[in-house]
């Protein structure tokens, strides 16, 4: 064989290499996040079946293993829970009273009704296969009413902490962009001193709150809670994000930069809630 | 079926399974959040045993699968695995792979090269990657984890007759 076909046949490994590298580079260029979502969504829907199966098998083994000790612990917890239930019933009555009072006060002040969210429970079934990205996959998808952009929260240590938001939905799974991702931005507010800022992922599992007025330096306390401000209407107002760990005030900058430790421990995250709005 | 095509299909299946394991089961054995890269170990094994063609093709396909399960841009892992598969495949037939030392060395170098190439892509394409820390702790944990697992995984993969070295590559 001579000519171009002969050349291609002789160097087919090199030619294949060049074609594959070209295709990969092209894909990176046009897909750098959110642009090429369709092929990825199809891929996610197909391969999530395997992820769910593998996760199920692994859970079955670990569940069986710990079932016996769990039973013993549960008995002790049941006794404690019964006592707590009595307390909570009392607290619930108080809460109803407070809610009625709050509604009455809001009506008097003329506040608009805030958005109501439905909590869709979901389980974390997979994480990123590599160590460079922070993907999380949940076992709820478009079939369960999950849509792109919905906020995700988790309850840890008695607080409702912000986890992230849905960036991609398959039929039965959805992909979450955690707040620790450098490409994630959350409108935030310091809970006590009431200064606003923007929280984004800062690497090593920490968060950075920027654009906080320098004036805040006098008032912000270490350990102060940071919550969502509700501005931008992506995340509901008042969800806990983290606590202030470090403060940086550079002379040449007009604003402060705060290092925030997330409320949610992403290493031991298993169950979360997707906040679904609308119908 | 053509032997090369059969090898590509089998190694893609193995690499794909490794990627799925990494995203599900292996997160429970992660050290400080760092998981071993089983797919890289399988890729290097295929490359040194069956050459560039099988390694780059299966690396590309498994990389695409990895990208579809990740927040990485489509093509990111496909490119890394294609390039590593191709260059490691060039060594097929020219090195003797003993049961312990060579697997450890090959995987050690491959993980560092993967780390460097990832950094290069993150910087060039300005990809937002939270785990990006050049030559920081996570990379060395992954290097150690992969190197430790390499001899065991190589021993397991050697049992697959379809991945035996080609006649011309026997050392």
Q: Are residues A182 and A105 in the same domain?
A: no
Instruction: Measure the CA–CA gap between B27 and B114, rounded to whole angstroms.
Output: 20
Query: To the nearest whole number, what is the mean pLDDT of chain B?
Result: 89
CATH number at residue B25: 1.10.1760
Q: Report the sign of the C-alpha dihedral through residues A35, A36, A41, A43, in that order.
A: negative
Residue that is written with structure tokens 């090593």 in the block: A204
Ranked by mean pLDDT, the top range of A108-112, B75-79, B96-100 is B75-79
DSSP state of A116: P
Does a structural domain hold residue B171? Answer: no
Assess if residue A20 is contained within a domain: no
Residue B74 to residue A205, Cβ atoms within 8 A? no
Tens of pLDDT, residue by residue over B45-62, are: 999 999 999 999 999 999
What is the predicted pLDDT for the residue at A65? 77
Specify whether the CB–CB gap between A11 and B52 falls below 8 A: no
* Rounded Cα–Cα distance for residues A208 and A180 (Å): 9
* Residue A31 falls inside a structural domain: no
* Residue pLDDT, tens place only, B91-112: 998 888 898 999 999 999 999 9
Q: What percent of chain A has pLDDT over 70?
A: 91
Share of chain B above pLDDT 90, in %: 60
Instruction: Count structural domains, chain B.
Output: 1
Is B12 within the bounds of a domain? yes
A33 has pLDDT over 60:
no
- A210: number of Cβ within 10 Å: 17
Residues A273, A224, single domain; the answer is yes
Q: Can you give the residue range of the structural domain that contains A99? A: 54-113
Domain interval for residue B15: 3-160
CA angle A78, A81, A86 (to 5 degrees): 135
Mean pLDDT over each residue of chain A, to the nearest integer? 84
Instruction: Please check whether residues A249 and A207 belong to one and the same domain.
Output: yes
Tens digits of residue pLDDT in A9-20: 888 889 999 999
The residues with which A228 forms a beta bridge, in sequence order, are A188
Q: How far apart are CA A195 and CA A189, in angstroms?
A: 6
Contact (CB, 8 A) for B143 and B111: yes
Percent of all residues in chain B with a pLDDT value above 70, rounded to a whole number = 92
Residues from chain B contacting residue A45 (CB–CB below 8 Å): none
Distance from CA of A186 to the nearest CA of B (A): 16
In the predicted model, what is the mean pLDDT of residues B151-161? Answer: 93
DSSP A33: S
Task: Show the 3-state SS of chain B.
Answer: CCHHHHHHHHHHHHHHHHHHHHHCHHHHHCECCECCCHHHHHHHHHHHHHCHHHHHHHHHHHHHHHHHCCCCCCCHHHHHHHHHHHHHHCCCCCCCCCCCHHHHHHHHHHHHHHHHHHHHHHHHCCCCCCCCCCCCHHHHHHHHHHHHHHHHHHHHHCCCHHHCCCHHHCC
pLDDT digits (tens, 9 = 90+) for A113-153: 555 788 899 999 988 888 888 889 999 998 988 999 999 99
User: Nearest by CB to A126, which of B23, B77, B78?
Assistant: B23
Whether residues B118 and A132 touch (CB distance < 8 A) is answered with yes
A84 CB-near residues (< 8 Å, 6+ apart)? none
Residue B113 belongs to some domain of the structure: yes
Which pLDDT does position A35 carry in this prediction? 46
Q: Where residue A36 falls among pLDDT bands split at 50, 70, 90?
A: very low
* pLDDT for residue B22: 93
pLDDT digits (tens, 9 = 90+) for A189-228: 998 888 899 999 887 778 999 988 888 888 888 889 999 9
Split at pLDDT 50, 70, 90, the class of A159 is confident
CB contact under 8 A, A126 and B79: no
Q: How many domains does chain A have?
A: 2
Instruction: Judge: B67–A167 Cβ closer than 8 Å, yes or no.
Output: no
In this prediction, residue B52 carries a pLDDT of 93
**Mean pLDDT, rounded, for B142-171:** 86
Average of per-residue pLDDT across A101-116: 69
Q: Which residues of A136-148 are buried (b: 16+ CB within 10 A; e: fewer)?
A: bbbbbbbebebee
Same domain? A204 vs A245: yes
3-state secondary structure of A163: strand
Q: Same domain, yes or no, for A65 and A104?
A: yes
Mean pLDDT along residues A171-177: 91
Residues on chain A touching B50 (C-beta within 8 angstroms)? none
What is the reported pLDDT for B134?
A: 61
Residue at token pair 């001193």: A193
pLDDT at position B133: 66
pLDDT at B135: 63
Cα atoms in the 13 Å half-sphere on the side-chain side of A267:
10
Residue whose C-alpha is closest to residue B123's, from B114, B113, B134: B134
**pLDDT attached to residue A34:** 47
Domain shared by A107 and A159, yes or no: no
Minimal-distance CA residue of chain B relative to A169 = B69
Chain B residues whose beta carbon lies within 8 Å of the beta carbon of residue A126:
23-24, 27, 69
Same domain assignment for residues A72 and A195: no
The Cα angle at residue B44 between residues B39 and B47, in degrees rounded to 5: 125
Nearest CA distance, A25 vs chain B (angstrom): 6
Mean pLDDT of B135-148: 87
Which of A97, A113, A129 is at the close of a domain?
A: A113
**Residue B79 is nearest to which of A12, A28, A42, comparing CB atoms?**
A28
Asked whether residue B36 is assigned to any structural domain, the reply reads yes
Residue B41: its pLDDT value, please? 96
Q: Tell me the two tokens of residue A262.
A: 């997330």
Per-residue confidence (pLDDT) for residue B79, from 0 to 100: 96
Q: Which chain B residues are closer than 8 Å to A175 by Cβ?
A: 71
CATH number of the domain encompassing residue A205: 2.40.10.350
Q: Is residue B166 part of a domain?
A: no
Q: With CB atoms and an 8 Å threshold, state whether B129 touches A127.
A: no
Kindly state whether residues A138 and A252 are assigned to the same domain.
yes
- Half-sphere exposure of B18 toward its Cβ, with a 13 Å CA cutoff? 25
- Tens of pLDDT along B2-20? 888 889 999 999 999 999 9
pLDDT at A9: 82
Q: Is residue B25 in a domain?
A: yes
Q: Is A190 exposed, middle or buried (0-12, 13-18, 19+ CB in 10 A)?
A: buried
Please indicate whether residue B166 or residue B17 has the higher confidence score (pLDDT).
B17
The answer to whether residue A38 scores a pLDDT higher than 80 is no
Rounded to an integer, the average pLDDT of A71-98 is 86
Q: Is residue A19 part of a domain?
A: no
Model confidence pLDDT, tens digit, residues A18-30: 999 999 988 888 8
Residue with the two structure tokens 């612990």: A73
**B129 neighbourhood in chain A, CB within 8 Å:** 132-133, 182
pLDDT at B117 over 60: yes
């Amino acid at each position: 064989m001579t000519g171009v076909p002969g050349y291609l046949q002789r160097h087919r490994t090199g030619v294949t290499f060049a074609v594959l590298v070209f295709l990969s580079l092209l894909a990176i260029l046009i897909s750098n996040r959110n642009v090429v979502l369709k092929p990825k969504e199809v891929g996610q829907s197909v391969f999530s079946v395997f992820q769910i199966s593998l996760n199920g098998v692994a859970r079955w083994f670990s569940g069986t293993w710990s079932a016996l000790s769990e039973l013993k612990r549960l008995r002790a917890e049941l006794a404690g829970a019964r006592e707590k239930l009595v307390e909570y019933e009392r607290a619930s009555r108080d809460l109803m009273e407070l809610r009625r009072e709050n509604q009455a006060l809001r009506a008097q002040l003329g506040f608009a009704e805030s958005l109501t969210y439905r909590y869709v429970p979901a389980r974390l079934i997979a994480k990123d296969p590599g160590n460079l990205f922070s993907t999380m996959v949940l076992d709820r998808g478009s079939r369960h009413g999950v849509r792109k952009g919905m906020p995700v929260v988790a309850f840890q240590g008695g607080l409702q902490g912000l986890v992230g938001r849905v960036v991609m939905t398959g039929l039965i799974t959805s992909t979450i962009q955690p707040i620790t991702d450098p490409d994630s931005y959350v409108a935030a507010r310091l809970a006590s001193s009431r200064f606003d800022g923007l929280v984004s992922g800062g690497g090593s599992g920490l968060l950075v709150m920027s654009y906080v007025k320098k004036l805040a330096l006098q008032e912000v306390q270490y350990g102060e809670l940071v919550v969502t401000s509700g501005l931008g209407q992506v995340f509901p107002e008042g969800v806990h994000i983290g606590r202030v760990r470090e403060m940086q005030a550079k002379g040449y900058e007009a604003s402060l930069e705060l290092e925030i430790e997330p409320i949610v421990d992403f290493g031991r995250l298993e169950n979360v809630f997707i906040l679904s709005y609308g119908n | 079926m053509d032997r090369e095509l059969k090898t590509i299909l089998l190694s893609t299946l193995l690499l794909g399974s490794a990627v799925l394991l990494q995203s599900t089961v292996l997160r429970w054995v992660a050290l400080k959040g760092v998981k071993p890269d089983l797919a890289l170990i399988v890729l290097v094994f295929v490359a040194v045993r069956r050459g560039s063609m099988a390694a780059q093709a299966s690396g590309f396909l498994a990389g695409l699968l990895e990208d579809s399960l990740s927040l990485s841009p489509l093509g990111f892992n496909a490119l890394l695995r294609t390039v590593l598969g191709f260059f490691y495949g060039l060594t097929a037939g020219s090195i003797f792979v003993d049961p312990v030392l060579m697997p450890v060395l090959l995987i050690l170098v491959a993980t560092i090269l993967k780390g460097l190439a990832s950094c290069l892509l993150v910087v060039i394409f300005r990809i937002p990657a939270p785990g990006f820390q050049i030559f920081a702790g996570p990379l060395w944990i992954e290097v150690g984890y992969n190197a430790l697992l390499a001899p065991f995984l190589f021993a397991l993969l050697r049992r697959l007759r379809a991945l035996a070295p080609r006649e011309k590559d026997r050392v």
